[in-house]
Amino acid sequence: MAGFGAGVSGFAVGDRVGVAWLRRTDGTCAYCLRGAENLCPRSEYTGWDADGGYAEYTTVPAAFAHRLPAGLADVALAPLLCAGIIGYRALRRSSLPPDGRLGLYGFGGSAHLCAQVALAEGATVHVLTRGEAARRLSRSRAST
């Protein structure tokens, strides 16, 4: 059964949304107030504090529901709700200037997605990692 809680606006029944790993914060602590909600001591997480990571239906505070674009498969969008959000947030907090240089230490899912965004924005990306598979991936066309 689809529906909304009291006071929810901006969504309609049938909208395609995703829920990221970070699914709720208190919004009042010092971390939340300075934009570091990922450090909130009362945060809750999808798949840890609440079911929903692989569910067909779930509930989430409206502020943590992310509208998903049409035309892209769920399997293509799913990584963006975890590793993608982590990498994107880190990239934005780095204040990388246009056509700047970005150094990534390690090359897991978050760094891989972060590198793709940075490259698309014209940055030069340097990857430092010890794993051979990660080195190959960082050099492949899949990373550009």
- Name every residue whose Cβ is closer than 8 Å to that of residue 44 and which is 6 or more positions away in sequence: 23, 24, 25, 50
What are 41-59's pLDDT values in tens digits?
999 998 888 887 777 777 8
Closest-CA residue to 123 (of 90, 97, 85): 97
- Compute the average pLDDT of residues 63-85: 87
Q: Which domains does the chain have, with CATH numbers?
A: 14-69 (no CATH), 82-144 (3.40.50.720)
* Closest C-alpha among 46, 28, 49, 48 to residue 37: 28
Cβ count near 53 (within 10 Å): 17
Mean pLDDT value across residues 75-104? 90
Burial of 143 (0-12, 13-18, 19+ CB in 10 A): middle
Give me the chain's average pLDDT, please: 87
Core vs surface per residue 89-100: b (16+ CB within 10 A) or e: eebeeeebeeee
Residue 119 has pLDDT above 80, yes or no: yes
pLDDT band at 19 (very low <50, low <70, confident <90, very high): confident
